[in-house]
Amino acid sequence: MTIVVERLELGGTGRTVMVKDTIDIAGHPTRASSRALEEAPDAERHADVVQALLDAGCRIIGKTSLHELAFGTTGLNAWTGTAENPRYPGRIPGGSSSGSAAAVAAGLCDFSLGTDTGGSVRVPAACCGVFGLKPTFGRVSRAGVMPAETTLDCVGPFAASIGLLIEAMTAIDPSFSALPTVSGIRIGVVPVAANPEVQAALDAVLEAADFPLEVMPLPGMQAAYDAGLAIINRETWNGCGHLVETGLVGADIAARLLAASNTSDAALADAESVRAAFTAEVDAALARCPILALPTMPDYPALVADAFDTRAAIGMTAFVRPFNLTGHPALSIPFEGASKLPVGLQLVAAKGADELLLAVARELVQRLEQ
């Protein structure tokens, strides 16, 4: 299993952690699973989140593989090899934080860190059957994380339990406070077009969890998805486009980067207008229902053999990418559909309400376990 790209032994005797290889660890190169960065110099200092882990007494035991340059949703990588999906063999691990999700699913660490620019924590969490959180944009420090400049990307944790996910946030977010009570919380169910088995599984979960529910349409989702793609394309080209000329970037990523270079200033301006409009739409929905619920992915994860056209796989992020655009916190809770394949329930909360989001997720899981 090509999950761990470098074994490490840093820190105390607390929780064991692996981190995505877009996050700097002093004395080690940050290669982002790209041959183009094979000769990258060692990082001079720890990323803020790495230092926070060490300050919390965690033990960092490895760096994990990813979809090259964090620019893909399947997790396939011809250079490092593709991380095997431990719980659902033959299925893609999801990207871009494939190794971080797979490491948790395989029981290699207590929790792991990934990054999420267009679903890159929540999608692999759903594919590998673990919990994954994208915090509010800007809440967890990105100092020392690739790419340096972004309006979308967030560092977020994976864990096999909601309790460990909460522990991870406590470690990496100095502002993280005690979880609030969730009595009377109403969940807004966002209608989307998903595989009927996926939708049926999550409808059953929400019914069994017994929160008050209200249908909460978000008509701007498709426009927000398109806008999120335009912005990630421009920002990734700005951050990584120079690597194409090395001739060492994988063909799939090189083609996607070159296509991204054509993102016009007009398209970017339109995307920013959509960002403002959809953010207002989501805020209005959250004013009525403090938590929104929808599938993490529209379908089960594809078979690895069927997933080599990464551009065709971008639609996997249809339900997650819009919340990178707006910056709201969102997490994926693992379940299974009738075919015994993984589905994720995505919950979304107001900006800064990460504690409420995790409190509702914990309560939902506890109710289902009773």
Work out the burial of residue 113: count CB atoms within 10 Å of its CB; fewer than 13 is exposed, 13-18 middle, 19 or more buried. Answer: buried
- Catalytic residue selected from 100, 112, 120, 332: 120
- Catalytic residue selected from 96, 98, 112, 332: 96
**How far is the C-alpha of 330 from the C-alpha of 323, rounded, in Å?**
7
Identify whether 120 is a catalytic site residue: yes
Tokens of 100: 């971080």
In one letter, which amino acid is 153?
A: D
Work out the burial of residue 183: count CB atoms within 10 Å of its CB; fewer than 13 is exposed, 13-18 middle, 19 or more buried. Answer: exposed
Of 186, 133, 149, 111, the C-alpha closest to 333 is 133
Identify whether 175 is a catalytic site residue: no
Q: Are the C-beta atoms of residues 350 and 176 closer than 8 Å to each other? A: no
3-state SS assignment for residue 294: strand
Left if phi > 0, otherwise alpha if psi is -120 to 50, otherwise beta: which for 283?
alpha
Q: Would you give the distance in Å from CA 167 to the centre of its chain?
A: 17
> What are the catalytic residues?
20, 96, 120
